[in-house]
Chains A and B, each alone.
Chain A
Amino acid sequence: MADYPARNPFPARGTSSAEETSLPGFLSDWARSTPTALLPGVRDVVRQARAYLAAFDGDGGLHCLYGAHGIGKTHAARSMMAVVNEESPDAVQLYLRFQDDDFVAAYRRMVSQLPLSLLVELSLSYLDTLADDLSGRAVRPAAGESRRSGPFVPDPVESGEVLEEQAKEIAAVAGDWPQFQRALSYLTRPGFADDAYDWLCGRPISPESSRALGVSAQIDDPLTCRYGLQLLTRLVTRGGRPFVMVLDQCEKFLLDDGDPVPRNIGILHGLVEAVPRARGMLVLVASEAGWECMPQDLRQRLGAGACHMLPLTPGEATLVLATYINAVRQSDGDDVWPFTEAGVLELLRHSGGNVRLLLQLAWAAFEAAAPGGLIDAGLVATASARHGRAPSFAALATLVERELRACGLAAERVEENGAVTSFELPGGSAPRAVIRLSEAMFFDDEVAIADEMVTRRSGAPAAFTALLVTGYVSPTVLTVLREAMHVVLVADGSPGFGRALDELVKRLAAIPAGSGEPLPQDETLRELRTRMDDLVAARQGEVLALQRRLDDVAERLDRERQRRPDWPARRVELVERITEFRDARAATDWLEFSRAGTVAARRRTRLLSLLALTVVAAAVLFAAAPAVGMLPLRWALIVGGVAALVAAALLWRSPAASNVRHAVAGAESRRDLDRLAREAGTRAGPHAADPVGRYAYALREDPDDGYQRLVEAMLAEPLAIVRQALGRRLAVSERSPAQCVPDVLRGLREGCPEMLLLLARRQRHAESELPPRVLRDLPPELRVLVALANPGTLGLADGAMSRQPAELALEALGVRGLLHPLALAFRGGVSQIMPIEIPPSALRATAHLLSPLEPGGFGTYDWLPLIAEIDELFLFFEELLYYQEENRINRHKS
């Protein structure tokens, strides 16, 4: 069970504030401090922004978010800006919240967001781009690289030609182009920059300045403002930076007190055409009313880029709550605990699926909850009574009755199960109007309820049917119900509902008693019924799919969170594990060695005692000899004593004995061992029983004259530490790695990987000129070592391509060319090239080959001089795997 949130995770006001600023710092701060649930609207706009950034050289982008107030539009736009900021830090983004229908004021606020220095920089890079385009140079020289090198200086393009080209392009986006071009050119002249900037920002400038710059006194008409924005778009995108412009609360701009403002609609239309054409991205954010008042052609232009943000479904509400709760929880969990499921549905009913209300109510409910206590339906209802606005079922009945009475309509109450479920206005044969009341509809049962409503509709041929739902009905069902009923209202307590109820009652009052409106034909109703049935089926499938999708999202969110130890952290973790494993291996080797030393010492002790025994026996025999009177017996004793002495001498001289003669069990550490080995003197020998003697031999044997002896000793050597010492001794041999290849292969065959020390050496220069065939014929995994040992002459490791895991390692090392994407990534960092299409299984196999953690991996050969490089390579493949996994998650997410 996840821990209880330490503080109230919800924002009290539930609003997403957005500063009008282009500073990237604000955006990243916002993204850090504000959790964002990946609702469809958010995903949609983020996907569009990503598409825009990815295809930046192609078209611009156009997107429109619309929906009711508090549905999360600004939040969606904001998180899109944060994503753009993160993925393309040099993007220029403008955010504007319209306050009224004054476009000039809006323009001034918007352009002022860009600092003078940025505009100057943009203006200069625009000219650079133009000059490069003109001279046909595809690549600009990097900063610091001199443009003048050698006699072949590319002809510079005359600045006049560049300005001419700029004039053409500016004229294409701005009608008043000479003024704008002058303003841009004076931006870069120190004495006039401030005036030019002020003018571009729509501020008034002095008459002198305006005459000097050759521009008007101030930008003060909407058309020039529109040109200004279009020019700005062109300026940014031609300078090679993405441009995103978010216009929030468009309804305030398009509507003046509810009436459309045709001039502003025209301006917006112009921007919608021009900004994407200038390769910028325009995001419009509007309320339902704003969307409604956009002309048809404008809406068509927006087309697929328009995203209608709908009230939350129960699954989405759960996701929103989980996102906020998880943001303050220590441990992970994908549930909404401490909210109960009923609590969530109650929240949804009271909020009408509106994110802002939902968050406000969640905040209130959390405040009201006992510390550490569950938040259930009852608690939510109590909290909502104080904070919420949606009337309860009983309150709704009272409200409707009061409204009907106020209009003098006598309505009959129909009660079911002790609650009022509908009001009927009596007519002739059938009621002339029915107002049905329904509880908030949710998910599984809402289709059933809707079905029942439609059924009743056909059963009761009332002239007019209205349906009032408390709090919430999901968007899809709402459309169906609207077709079946004359009027469907959602009682969410908003002023809009109050007005609609008023209108409904007036309309009822206007229906004449008697015949009334033409009865809907049974045919029609039957048809609707069938459609409803279809919808029920479709709806059920949809519900399942949606549930699954949301589960998916939640799960992925969760996984992502679990991964949150991002790569640097993961790397540290890996490095720690590598060190741990390595220490363990060193300890094992040492233990093995010292144990062998002890055994040898014990054997020495046994030998010495045996010798002492023999000598004592001989002495006893000699001593006993004079005492024995019998001459033959005395001789026998003397001969026996001599024999014992001879036996002792033979024992002392025997090869087995000579091996253990000097064994000492004194080495306590490696340093100690080195000292002992140096003092070993004659005890050093390839076959000494004492490992110290063999170790001393390894240090002492001539690696060239005694090469073969060393090899044999190594193959026969049981102790890893001695083998490593032998290997290190061999590695200083005059023989080149190529000449040693047969021994290396033999060593590998006979389970003596230390022989690799012979291969993991730099090939001498003379041989790197003519790469020895024998190196190139090595198995690919050994060629990885060759490449690592010879970073300057990678050609040595070049051999036939293979499909083995080592191939990827070779590519990363640059053996297949330094421009191979893997090689670039290895040198320049993985983030340089994300889209490497390598199956994860191949990456995993390569990482396994190099692994210091799994037995047999190259990384476990701790004694190789190249071990640090091998670790780097291993970590590189781990990093690739890590990012590939993350990419996969992101792909699913968006």
Chain B
Amino acid sequence: MPPAARYELYGLRSGNPYTCRPLNAVADDADRARMLELAGFVRLATIKEAVETGVSEKGPVFFLINGVSKSGRTSLANHVMSLYRHAAGLGESFATHCAEPEEMTQDPYPMMCSTLLSLRNKMNEQAIAIPDVLRERFAELGRRTHTDQMNAYDLQEIAGLTGSTYAAAKRGFGIRYESVPTKKLISLATKVFENTRTVVVFTVDDYDHANTFRLTRAERERLASHVHVVDLSALTGEQVAQLARGRWTGRPPSPFHEEGVKSAFSGRPYTVGRAMQHLELLLEFRLREYDRDDPWPTDDLHMPESWLVNRMYQRERWNGLGGIDG
């Protein structure tokens, strides 16, 4: 194993800036700035506007983010929640409930119960006084068996009370459902949180198999009245070039040759996560091939077009992936 890459030559103090991970704008303010629009990849302004409208109407904000793996669904969901927190003027007093893909089943009811009961626990944690009526309702909710389900409107009442309890304590909460397997969860959640001041973000796997779903056009139109649907597509070469420049944190300018990135990444579509992984490796390779000590900017640390195209080609060949999409 060769020695660690010397990122400090690029003026990168915290290592490779293209390391791929879901951004969490709620937990880390710096991540908010890392969410990039990328020439139409996401329209942050529209999203911000939608969130602010919802907040001003003192109602719920629903987002449905549709995309394949590594397309940035979780990052965007967190970003939406952080926008909400900001617009509602809630600082640290913002609680989130996140339901991970492993918890999802085809049955939305237990999901919804868990969500509400988890919110109750968060209220306890944050020392928010729960009114007796709500406490009773929670107890009942926990007691009911599956055959003896509460009506959606009962749940709505609990959610509403929960929301107002939070609001009374000058606090708020947001909910994120990851990889929603069934539409039933969307309709139930929108019903339950209809009168609650909150933000609910669903992410959906944009694949065609039995544990996910695809919205038809009619459904999209019907949902459009209360749910903001965002589709995350693959990036174009142009967008990858912007990504490379936008996420550069080292000594300016970015060592990636702008046009080079464009042409190197135009061969096939890359999700944002994949593009990041490739950029990360390209930067690392460049550093490893460099054996002098002069810091960036120098010619040898620059990544010209021919180098980029060559490397990407080699990588594709190496992975034997060339023929899959073709």
Q: Is the CB of B210 within 8 A of A179?
A: yes
Name the CB-closest residue of B to A164.
B207
Pick the contact of B209: A179, A181, A211, A213 (CB < 8 A).
A181
Q: Mark A179-215, 1 if CB is under 8 A from B, else 0.
A: 1111001000100100000000000000110011110
Asked if A167 CB lies within 8 Å of chain B CBs, one says yes
A residues in contact with B319, CB < 8 Å: 135, 152, 154-155
Give Cα A642 to B315, complex, Å: 106
Q: Mark A300-329, 1 if CB is under 8 A from B, else 0.
A: 000000000000000000000000000000
Q: Is the CB of A134 within 8 A of B324?
A: yes
Asked if A113 CB lies within 8 Å of chain B CBs, one says no
A residues in contact with B293, CB < 8 Å: none
Pick the contact of B320: A137, A163, A181 (CB < 8 A).
A137
Asked if B110 CB lies within 8 Å of chain A CBs, one says yes
Asked if A408 CB lies within 8 Å of chain B CBs, one says no
Q: Is the CB of B211 within 8 A of A182?
A: yes
Pick the contact of A185: B109, B211, B318, B320 (CB < 8 A).
B211
Name the CB-closest residue of A to B70.
A158
Give Cα A72 to B254, complex, Å: 80
Provided the pairs A160-B69, A208-B107, A214-B182 are in contact, do residues A136 and B211 lie with their beta carbons within 8 angstroms? no
Pick the contact of B106: A166, A167, A177, A182 (CB < 8 A).
A182
Give Cα A234 to B20, complex, Å: 37
Q: Mark B134-164, 1 if CB is under 8 A from A, else 0.
A: 0000000000001100000000000000000
Asked if A151 CB lies within 8 Å of chain B CBs, one says yes
Instruction: Identify whether the interface residues of B are mostly helix, strand, loop, or mixed.
Output: loop
A residues in contact with B57, CB < 8 Å: none
- Which bracket fits the contact residues of B? 20 to 34
Pick the contact of B210: A158, A211, A214 (CB < 8 A).
A214
Q: Is the CB of B321 within 8 A of A155?
A: yes
Asked if A178 CB lies within 8 Å of chain B CBs, one says yes
Q: Is the CB of A160 within 8 A of B68?
A: yes
B residues in contact with A207, CB < 8 Å: 146-147
Pick the contact of B208: A136, A155, A164, A180 (CB < 8 A).
A164
A residues in contact with B207, CB < 8 Å: 160-161, 163-164
Give Cα A212 to B206, complex, Å: 21
B residues in contact with A185, CB < 8 Å: 210-211
Give Cα A364 to B263, complex, Å: 88
Asked if B323 CB lies within 8 Å of chain A CBs, one says yes
Q: Mark B295-326, 1 if CB is under 8 A from A, else 0.
A: 00000000000000000000100111101100
Q: Is the CB of B106 within 8 A of A212?
A: yes
Minimal beta-carbon separation of B286 from chain A (angstroms):
12
Asked if B90 CB lies within 8 Å of chain A CBs, one says no
Asked if A340 CB lies within 8 Å of chain B CBs, one says no
Give Cα A151 to B321, complex, Å: 16
B residues in contact with A158, CB < 8 Å: 68-70
Q: Is the CB of A211 within 8 A of B324?
A: no
B residues in contact with A178, CB < 8 Å: 210
Provided the pairs A207-B146, A212-B107, A214-B182 are in contact, do residues A152 and B210 lie with their beta carbons within 8 angstroms? no
Name the CB-closest residue of B to A165.
B209
Asked if A159 CB lies within 8 Å of chain B CBs, one says yes
Give Cα A284 to B73, complex, Å: 52
Give Cα A136 to B106, complex, Å: 32
B residues in contact with A189, CB < 8 Å: 102
Asked if B205 CB lies within 8 Å of chain A CBs, one says yes
A residues in contact with B109, CB < 8 Å: 211
Q: Is the CB of A192 within 8 A of B105?
A: yes
Q: Mark B234-247, 1 if CB is under 8 A from A, else 0.
A: 00000000000000
Q: Is the CB of B69 within 8 A of A159?
A: yes
Q: Is the CB of A164 within 8 A of B324?
A: no
A residues in contact with B320, CB < 8 Å: 135-137, 154
Give Cα A115 to B130, complex, Å: 49
What total of chain A residues lie within 8 Å of the partner, measured CB to CB? 31
Name the CB-closest residue of B to A186.
B105
Q: Is the CB of A135 within 8 A of B284?
A: no
User: Could you say which of B69, B209, B321, B324 has the most chain A C-beta atoms within 10 Å of its C-beta?
Assistant: B209
Give Cα A134 to B274, complex, Å: 17
Q: Mark B86-115, 1 if CB is under 8 A from A, else 0.
A: 000000000000000010011101100000
Give Cα A208 to B113, complex, Å: 14
Asked if B281 CB lies within 8 Å of chain A CBs, one says yes
Q: Is the CB of B105 within 8 A of A213?
A: yes
Name the CB-closest residue of B to A163.
B209
B residues in contact with A179, CB < 8 Å: 210
Name the CB-closest residue of A to B281.
A151
Give Cα A281 to B61, complex, Å: 56
Name the CB-closest residue of B to A167.
B209
Q: Mark B185-210, 1 if CB is under 8 A from A, else 0.
A: 00000000000000000000111111
Provided the pairs A212-B105, A212-B106, A212-B107 are in contact, do residues A181 and B210 lie with their beta carbons within 8 angstroms? yes
Minimal beta-carbon separation of B74 from chain A (angstroms):
14
Q: Mark B39-77, 1 if CB is under 8 A from A, else 0.
A: 000000000000000000000000000001110000000
Give Cα A549 to B105, complex, Å: 64
Q: Mark A110-151, 1 if CB is under 8 A from B, else 0.
A: 000000000000000000000000111100000000000001
Q: Is the CB of A164 within 8 A of B209?
A: yes
B residues in contact with A211, CB < 8 Å: 105-107, 109
Q: Is the CB of B324 within 8 A of A214?
A: no
Q: Is the CB of B318 within 8 A of A135?
A: no
B residues in contact with A135, CB < 8 Å: 319-321, 324
Asked if B255 CB lies within 8 Å of chain A CBs, one says no
A residues in contact with B205, CB < 8 Å: 160
Asked if B290 CB lies within 8 Å of chain A CBs, one says no
Asked if B181 CB lies within 8 Å of chain A CBs, one says yes
Provided the pairs A160-B205, A212-B105 are in contact, do residues A136 and B323 lie with their beta carbons within 8 angstroms? yes
Name the CB-closest residue of A to B316.
A155
User: Could you say which of B102, B109, B208 has the most chain A C-beta atoms within 10 Å of its C-beta?
Assistant: B208
Pick the contact of B211: A137, A154, A161, A163 (CB < 8 A).
A163
Give Cα A23 to B206, complex, Å: 41
A residues in contact with B281, CB < 8 Å: 151
Q: Is the CB of A213 within 8 A of B208?
A: no
Q: Is the CB of A166 within 8 A of B209?
A: yes
Instruction: Please provide the chain A residues from 155 to 176 with a CB less than 8 Å away from any CB of chain B in the complex.
Output: 155, 158-161, 163-164, 166-167
A residues in contact with B208, CB < 8 Å: 164, 167
Give Cα A211 to B109, complex, Å: 9
B residues in contact with A181, CB < 8 Å: 209-211
Name the CB-closest residue of B to A137.
B320
Give Cα A135 to B324, complex, Å: 7
Minimal beta-carbon separation of B15 from chain A (angstroms):
15
Name the CB-closest residue of B to A133.
B324
B residues in contact with A213, CB < 8 Å: 105-106
Give Cα A41 to B303, complex, Å: 72
Minimal beta-carbon separation of A110 from chain B (angstroms):
23
Minimal beta-carbon separation of B263 from chain A (angstroms):
20
Q: Is the CB of B68 within 8 A of A136?
A: no
B residues in contact with A192, CB < 8 Å: 105
A residues in contact with B182, CB < 8 Å: 214
Minimal beta-carbon separation of B112 from chain A (angstroms):
13
Minimal beta-carbon separation of A213 from chain B (angstroms):
6
Q: Is the CB of B181 within 8 A of A152?
A: no
Give Cα A690 to B319, complex, Å: 76
Name the CB-closest residue of B to A190.
B102
Give Cα A514 to B146, complex, Å: 85
A residues in contact with B110, CB < 8 Å: 208, 212
Minimal beta-carbon separation of A260 from chain B (angstroms):
36
Instruction: Give the 3 A-B CB pairs with smallest separation, nearest first.
Output: A214-B106, A181-B210, A178-B210
Further 8 A-B residue pairs, CB within 8 A, beyond A152-B315, A155-B321, A167-B208: A136-B321, A137-B320, A154-B318, A155-B274, A160-B68, A160-B206, A160-B212, A212-B107
Cross-chain pairs A/B with CB under 8 angstroms, 8 sampled: A160-B209, A163-B210, A164-B208, A167-B209, A177-B210, A182-B210, A208-B107, A214-B182
